[in-house]
Amino acid sequence: MDSSYRIFIFIHVLSAIGSIGPFFILLPISNQLQKATGEALSAYLSIFRFVVRLTKHMGHILVVSGVLLIIIGPWTWRTPWILMTLAVMFLSIFFLARAFSPILKKFEEENKDKIRLAAKLKRTLWNYIVLLLIMLWFMVVKPVLW
């Protein structure tokens, strides 16, 4: 295994951590959104938006490093665990595009039900974390599916 492959594996692992890890800090924040008002609410929403933006960019690095690993590494595009990772990744892209922004915008509306919105946000957060962990499982375990 040459050094460039090892470097890309390292970059790939770091970007996976950066794509998944920050979402866990949003779990306690989603609880705080229920009772936050004014500047505190704005701060929590800003953190939420920042984490979503950060993880999107880390996801770009993850995808690029993954493509480079397939090109220079021993795996092919037809490898079952790679195909399944790509399938889940495309699901997660559509999910992320519609998951957080509409809910976060509703927090800024008048007469909002913050308890319901925070619960929906937390459920959405857990759904996205599960999708990310499924992809991580495929990449780590590399199961023989067919």
Containing H/E element for 99?
Answer: helix 80-99
3 state DSSP class of 110: coil
pLDDT at residue 1 is higher than 70 = no
Rounded distance between C-alpha atoms, residue 30 and residue 117, angstroms: 9
pLDDT tens figures, 51-99: 989 998 999 999 999 999 999 999 999 999 999 999 999 888 887 777 8
Instruction: Show the tokens assigned to 77.
Output: 């595009």
> Is the pLDDT confidence value at 102 over 80?
yes
Q: b/e map of 5-22 (b: 16 or more CB within 10 Å)?
A: eeebeebbeebbebbbeb
The percent of residues in the chain predicted with pLDDT above 70, rounded, is 99
